[in-house]
Amino acid sequence: MEQNVKPAEGKLGILVPGMGAVATTFIAGVEAVKKGIAQPIGSLTQMGSLRIGKRTENRNPKINEFVPLAKLDEIVFGGWDIYEDNVYEAAINAKVLDANLLNAIRPELEAIKPMKAVFDKSYVQNLDGTNVKKAATKYDLALELIADIENFNKINNCTRSVMVWCGSTEKYIEVSAAHQTIESFEQGLKDNDANISPSMIYAYASIKCGVPFANGAPNLTCDIPALIDLARETGTPIGGKDFKTGQTLMKTILAPGLHARALGVRGWFSTNILGNRDGYVLDHPDNFKTKEVSKLSVLDEIFKPESNPELYGELYHKVRINYYPPHGDNKESWDNIDIFGWLGYGMQIKINFLCRDSILAAPIVLDLALFLDLAKRAEMSGIQEWLSFYFKSPQVLEGLAPEHDIFKQLIKMQNTLRHMMGEDLITHLGLDYYQDLVEAM
């Protein structure tokens, strides 16, 4: 059965609000791969494969040969930032990538200049910039963003585009009255409601235009009823929140293994040092709180203490992030995990991950952009839970618990791709192989 996924014809615009470390590492990386001077390591859409059919069929195509994804040559980049630096300058400042690599693609990067941003300092107190739009209401700002998207597509001859929020983490807020319905949200935009953050205005503009939207930060952004409804109404795929990199990636790899072996966990202490601009923004308690909530949600969902109180009922989970400029983007994390086994005997696990934050995040931006564009062409809209694999705090429909186990997330993502292409889903039951063998004997 062949499903109806439209082909990826013409150019795809990838629009990023926030052209800092992650966004520039992503854009420079794609340009370097296009030039053949680097490899897209860590990107499933570029390097991953999946099994199709029975094990005996030996069909393991690359993902990008199995589903119709946009080719890297067909991508055009654009975005917004509160600073005027072009992508080359911003990438040099971010100090993630080697200057030799950046110089090899300098003209391509210099050509990408950020559009004026929608910014509100009350949401990111540690930043100040001048490349900012001015208008009487938040609604006017949203209309300006919609005009930016339309102009970008026109100038660059794009048949379609997607947006991925790579901007700073905003201060912690909860869902409030203005977020409830499309009408209350639009009224809130017109009334300059303080609970509507800049990232929500970008998300609104994107979804209103039918442009798929992903949120790489832990802010609420599109995780509010009004924008979920708008996504359904405009047939737009959305997803969030917070790219799953570094320490949380390790957590969602390790915790499912401990849970699988019914090993108890008494405590999990996680601390980080980080010296980039993201770390500086997170140094403010209001912004740290947004990140903390996102990072803390992971273990409860994997261990389900209510179902296993003797193993996880006492679990003490603590997460700290400390701003430490000398380390720049090279985040260092330490985890101390107190576990216990047979008859309650205690053991410890220590993890010291010397990672590179943006190197882990960049391929996620690429995969999310390409998969959201695929989802749109497959006529999928609203929350794309199958992309939970990429998020620390996956967005789900109200009433559903998010899935954090990275292995279950991968199975779900692969089965969704099989489903889109009309292939059998894989259950890993495998009994039929043995049945066939017995019958053949």
Question: Which residues in this chain contact ligand NAD in the complex, by CB under 6 A?
Answer: 17-23, 80-83, 94, 117-119, 124, 127, 129, 166-169, 198, 216-217, 242-243, 245-246, 276-278, 281, 357-358, 360-361
Residue 89: CB minimum distance to ligand NAD, A: 11
The H-or-E segment that residue 349 falls in is strand 346-354
- The CB-nearest residue to ligand NAD is 20
Q: Of 166 and 231, which has the nearer Cβ to ligand NAD?
A: 166
Question: What does the alpha-carbon distance between residue 374 and residue 377 come to, in Å, rounded to a whole number?
Answer: 5
User: Residue 280 Cβ, how far from ligand NAD at the closest point, in Å?
Assistant: 7
Could you tell me if 207 and 234 are in contact, meaning their C-beta atoms sit under 8 angstroms apart?
yes
Radius of gyration over alpha carbons of the chain, in Å?
Answer: 22
- The least distance separating ligand NAD from the CB of residue 78, rounded to whole angstroms, comes to 12
Nearest-approach distance from CB 175 to ligand NAD, in angstroms: 19
> What's the CA gap between 210 and 226, in Å, rounded?
15
Instruction: Kindly tell me which of 198 and 382 has the beta carbon lying closer to ligand NAD.
Output: 198
For residue 264, the tally of other CB atoms under 10 A from its CB is 22
Residue closer to ligand NAD, measured from CB, 292 or 423: 292
Of residues 274 and 378, the one with the C-beta less far from ligand NAD: 274
User: In this complex, which beta carbon is closest to ligand NAD, that of residue 67 or of residue 90?
Assistant: 90
Q: How far is the CB of 204 from ligand NAD (least distance, A)?
A: 13
Nearer to ligand NAD, 246 or 382 (CB): 246
Whole-number minimum distance, CB 202 to ligand NAD, in Å?
7
Of 64 and 358, CB closest to ligand NAD: 358
Provide the 3-class DSSP secondary structure of residue 213.
strand
* Residue partners of 236: CB distance under 8 A and separation at least 6: 206, 207, 210, 211, 212, 213, 230, 376, 381, 382
Strand 332-340 and strand 75-81: pairing? unpaired
CA angle 179/181/182 to nearest 5° reads 100
Question: Rounded to whole angstroms, how far apart are CA atoms 271 and 186?
Answer: 40
First to last CA, the chain: 32
Q: Least distance (Å) from ligand NAD to the CB of residue 85?
A: 8
Beta strand pairing status for 213-215 and 346-354? unpaired
Shorter beta-carbon distance to ligand NAD: residue 81 or 108: 81
- Give the bridge partners for 333, in sequence order: 272, 353
- As measured in angstroms, the least distance from the Cβ of 293 to ligand NAD is 13
Positions of E strands within 123-174: 158-165
CA distance 243 to 291: 11
Question: Shortest approach of ligand NAD to residue 132 CB, angstroms?
Answer: 8
Strands lying side by side in the sheet with 213-215? 115-116, 75-81, 11-17, 158-165, 213-215, 237-239, 382-383
CB-wise, 199 or 381, nearer to ligand NAD? Answer: 199
Could you tell me if 12 and 374 are in contact, meaning their C-beta atoms sit under 8 angstroms apart? no
